[in-house]
């Protein structure tokens, strides 16, 4: 497996524009997590899915953020409208809890800059 794949790797957009971040988890993994990382706040959990179902979105900062997982191999995180304070690195990670204690594998991240 190629690992967790995120796209794009870098995104520069203007304030007010819609941004969509994409994630392809490792095949067979039943959990998918979206995180945001900044110097000030570290790695924050935004939302996570179990078997494609959103479980907890309490970490989503505002209604401008939304996430979907239409099937086991694809998830999106959307910001509409984007603001400069959304600038951060966004990571997606997947985990296979069915195999017992195991690690979460991270994608390469998307570096978002909102100007």
Partner 1 sequence: QKEVEQNSGPLSVPEGAIASLNCTYSDRGSQSFFWYRQYSGKSPELIMFIYSNGDKEDGRFTAQLNKASQYVSLLIRDSQPSDSATYLCAVLVWDSSYKLIFGSGTRLLVRP
* Binding site residues, partner 1, CB under 8 A: 31, 33, 35, 41-43, 45, 48, 50, 55-56, 91, 93, 95, 97, 101-104, 106-109
The DSSP secondary structure of 1-69, one letter per residue, reads ----EEE-SEEEE-TT--EEEEEEPPTT--EEEEEEEETTTEEEEEEEEETTEEEE-TT--STTEEEEE
Nearer to partner 1 by C-beta: 5 or 66?
5
Nearer to partner 1 by C-beta: 16 or 99?
99
Q: Give the number of residues written for the chain.
A: 115
Closest distance of CB 35 from partner 1, Å:
7
47: closest CA among 71, 65, 30, 73? 65
Closest distance of CB 80 from partner 1, Å:
25
Nearer to partner 1 by C-beta: 18 or 56?
56
16: closest CA among 81, 86, 88? 81
Closest distance of CB 16 from partner 1, Å:
28
Closest distance of CB 20 from partner 1, Å:
20
């Amino acid at each position: 497996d190629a690992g967790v794949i995120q796209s794009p790797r870098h995104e520069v957009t203007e304030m007010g524009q819609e941004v969509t971040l994409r994630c392809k988890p490792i095949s067979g993994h039943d959990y998918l997590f979206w995180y945001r990382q900044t110097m000030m706040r570290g790695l924050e959990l935004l939302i996570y899915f179990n078997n494609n179902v959103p479980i907890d979105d309490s970490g989503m900062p505002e209604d401008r953020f939304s996430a979907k997982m239409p099937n086991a191999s694809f998830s999106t995180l959307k910001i509409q409208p984007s603001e400069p304070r959304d600038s951060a690195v966004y990571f997606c990670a997947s985990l296979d809890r069915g195999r017992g204690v195991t690690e979460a594998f991270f994608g390469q991240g998307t570096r978002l800059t909102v100007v």
